[in-house]
């Protein structure tokens, strides 16, 4: 009898433990690609509207998140997790999302991180209690809903290392959606066990990789325009002496820069750090693009006038000097842009390309300057393109109009008189008679 009672007690303990574990895992979700696991517990008769949850992803990703209330980003409450400043613990950030843009931190939700959270054994794990989490502006979750909608997302590889709940993040590399039977998540208030597979009533409905093309395309277009095409345009004009191909190059680089700016504007609308258009990169870039368009217009007008008159115009110096300012300004702005995109490491690549440009183009431009200095008489440049970028050093006018001597610098006009009369004095042999 004792053995039977002991056996029954053991069986009862096993069943109790199994039931407890099953209750916890019943609220679980595991992404089909293994990128993220999530488990949810909803305490019964809880007036505080608390949620108990656990979440886990590979430690190599920059952030992980679960969104509640919808199968897309609109009107969802996001539970976002990333490494803290030490790289050993985690920061949990409750954020609200109202579109396909970076979610914003909300102070109306409080999250208390529980023991067992941190970064270890190649995993980023969080166990937490979320207070005031069942309803928010624009959405809510209902514990009686058997098909509640959720989304999940994983950031690209990297580490944020921030204690701020409003830290800047990069766009997700993987995202998806699933539904969960919340009636099976209701139970005793406790942190649920990390799910290793979908629980009963949980169905993954979407799993998709993502690529953030607009920022890299913006960067490539701008680097090609300001580090490649524009300096090459100077060589085309000054060394090859081809205003025609210089104009084509100028048009191509201007179009590429404007398209790159439009891509940058679009990318800026997706992130909290750039949405308000108040960063140095964006403000500086706006002035550069406006100046670039103005320079292109001045160059176009100058070429049209020069083609008709074969004489330099007053527009040429402004076109030339704007170019001398715009090219380095655009490169400098690139060094401001990569940190804004959370990719400061690419500043080294930009620096290498800039130095390569100087090494390749610098000697050619110096050779051209030296050659012209030796061949051209002072004040009479040999360029045949009409770019007289220093009009104060221009030579005498080639006009055949008589200016009355005004064409000579520092010399007043000389009066134009008839030739003097031929005075033929005859010296008298006698003294002059005075009357």
Per-position DSSP letters for 170-238, written without gaps between them:
PPPSEEEEEEE-GGGTEESSSPPPPPSSPPTT-EEEEEEE----HHHHHHHHHHIIIIIIHHHHHHHHH
Mean pLDDT in residue range 109-123: 95
Distance CA 336, CA 318 (A): 27
Could you count the other beta carbons within 10 Å of the beta carbon of residue 53?
A: 25
SS3 state at 128: strand
* Confidence band of 48 (pLDDT split at 50, 70, 90): confident
Mean pLDDT in residue range 155-160: 94
In whole angstroms, what separates CA 264 from the centre of its chain?
Answer: 6
Asked if the model's pLDDT at residue 160 lies above 60, the reply is: yes
Look at residue 130 in the predicted model and tell me its pLDDT: 94
**pLDDT tens figures, 376-424:** 555 554 444 555 444 444 444 444 444 444 444 444 555 555 555 555 5
Asked whether 91 and 84 are in contact (CB, 8 A), the reply is: yes
CATH number for domain 214-389, candidates 1.20.120, 1.20.272, 1.25.40, 3.50.50: 1.20.120
Asked if the model's pLDDT at residue 231 lies above 50, the reply is: yes
Q: What is the mean pLDDT of the chain?
A: 82
**pLDDT tens figures, 132-155:** 899 999 899 999 999 999 999 999
DSSP readout, 3-20?
Answer: HHHHHHHHHHHHHHHHHH
Helix (H) or strand (E) holding 92: strand 90-97
Look at residue 187 in the predicted model and tell me its pLDDT: 85
In sequence order, the 6+-apart residues with CB closer than 8 A to the CB of 212 are 170, 171, 267
Tokens of 321: 């000097």
**CA dist list (Å): 16 to 23, 28, 342:** 10, 19, 50
Distance CA 222, CA 327 (A): 11
Look at residue 420 in the predicted model and tell me its pLDDT: 54
Distance CA 85, CA 119 (A): 12
SS3 state at 148: strand
Look at residue 35 in the predicted model and tell me its pLDDT: 93
Residue 227's φ and ψ, nearest 5 degrees, are: -100, -25
Look at residue 206 in the predicted model and tell me its pLDDT: 85
SS3 state at 125: strand
In sequence order, the 6+-apart residues with CB closer than 8 A to the CB of 416 are 404
Distance CA 340, CA 11 (A): 60
Distance CA 196, CA 392 (A): 79
* Confidence band of 44 (pLDDT split at 50, 70, 90): confident
Look at residue 405 in the predicted model and tell me its pLDDT: 45
Q: Output the CATH code of domain 25-209.
A: 2.60.40.1210
Q: What is the pTM of this model?
A: 0.75
Distance CA 24, CA 29 (A): 11
**pLDDT tens figures, 260-304:** 999 999 999 999 999 999 999 999 999 999 999 999 898 888 888
The residue with greater pLDDT, 365 or 167, is: 167
Distance CA 163, CA 327 (A): 39
Distance CA 14, CA 8 (A): 10
Asked if the model's pLDDT at residue 343 lies above 70, the reply is: yes
Mean pLDDT in residue range 1-29: 45
Look at residue 344 in the predicted model and tell me its pLDDT: 95
Look at residue 425 in the predicted model and tell me its pLDDT: 47
Distance CA 372, CA 375 (A): 5
Mean pLDDT in residue range 27-35: 91
Look at residue 114 in the predicted model and tell me its pLDDT: 96
Q: How much of the chain exceeds pLDDT 90, in percent?
A: 57
Question: What's the chain's Rg over C-alpha atoms?
Answer: 38
Using the CB atoms, write b or e for 11-47: b if 16+ within 10 Å: eeeeeeeeeeeebbbbbbbbbeeebbbbbbbbbeeee
**pLDDT tens figures, 302-318:** 888 878 887 788 888 88
In whole angstroms, what separates CA 131 from the centre of its chain?
Answer: 36
Distance CA 96, CA 136 (A): 8
Look at residue 435 in the predicted model and tell me its pLDDT: 30
Residue 4's φ and ψ, nearest 5 degrees, are: -65, -45
Domain boundaries defined on the chain: 25-209, 214-389
| DSSP tally for the chain: helices H, then strands E | 7, 16
Angle between helices 243-268 and 230-238 (to 10 degrees): 170
In whole angstroms, what separates CA 324 from the centre of its chain?
Answer: 24
**CA dist list (Å): 185 to 12, 67, 329:** 23, 16, 58
Look at residue 393 in the predicted model and tell me its pLDDT: 46
Look at residue 414 in the predicted model and tell me its pLDDT: 54
Look at residue 257 in the predicted model and tell me its pLDDT: 96
């Amino acid at each position: 009898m004792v053995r039977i009672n002991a056996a029954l007690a053991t069986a009862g303990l096993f069943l109790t433990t199994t039931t407890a574990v099953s209750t916890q895992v019943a609220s679980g979700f595991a992404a089909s690609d293994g990128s993220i696991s999530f488990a949810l517990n909803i305490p019964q008769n809880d007036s505080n509207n608390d949620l108990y949850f656990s979440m886990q992803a590979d430690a190599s990703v920059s952030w992980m998140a679960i969104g509640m209330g919808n199968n897309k980003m609109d009107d969802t409450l996001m539970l976002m997790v990333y490494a803290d400043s030490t790289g050993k613990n985690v920061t949990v950030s409750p954020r609200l999302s109202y579109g396909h843009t970076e979610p914003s931190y909300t102070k109306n939700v409080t999250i208390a991180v529980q023991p067992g959270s941190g970064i270890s054994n190649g995993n980023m794990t969080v166990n937490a209690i979320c207070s005031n989490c069942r309803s928010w502006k624009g959405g809510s979750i209902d514990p009686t809903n058997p098909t509640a909608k959720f989304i999940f997302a994983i950031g690209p590889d990297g580490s944020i290392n921030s204690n701020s709940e409003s830290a800047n993040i990069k766009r997700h590399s993987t995202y998806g959606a699933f539904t969960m039977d919340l009636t099976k998540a209701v139970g005793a208030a406790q942190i649920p066990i990390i799910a290793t597979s979908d629980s009963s009533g949980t169905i993954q409905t979407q799993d998709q990789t993502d690529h953030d093309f607009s920022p890299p395309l913006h960067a490539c277009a701008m680097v090609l325009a300001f580090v490649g095409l524009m300096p090459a345009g100077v060589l085309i004009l000054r060394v090859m002496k081809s205003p025609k191909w210089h104009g084509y190059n100028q048009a191509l680089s201007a179009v590429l820069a404007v398209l790159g700016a439009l891509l940058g504007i679009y990318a800026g609308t997706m992130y909290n750090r750039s949405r308000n258009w108040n960063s140095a990169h964006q403000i500086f870039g706006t002035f550069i693009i406006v100046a670039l368009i103005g320079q292109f217009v001045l160059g176009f007008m100058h070429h049209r006038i020069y083609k008709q008159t074969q004489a330099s115009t007053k527009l040429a110096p402004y076109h030339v000097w704007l170019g001398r300012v715009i090219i380095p300004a655009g490169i400098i702005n690139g060094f401001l842009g990569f940190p804004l995109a959370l990719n400061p490491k690419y500043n080294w690549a930009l620096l290498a390309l800039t130095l390569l440009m100087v090494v390749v183009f610098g000697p050619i431009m110096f050779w051209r300057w030296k050659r012209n200095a030796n061949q051209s008489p002072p004040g009479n440049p040999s360029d045949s393109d009409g770019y007289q970028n220093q009009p104060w050093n221009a030579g005498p006018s080639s006009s055949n109009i008589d200016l009355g001597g005004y064409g000579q610098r520092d010399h007043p006009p000389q009066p134009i008189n008839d030739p003097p009369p031929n005075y033929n004095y005859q010296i008298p042999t006698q003294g002059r008679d005075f009357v």
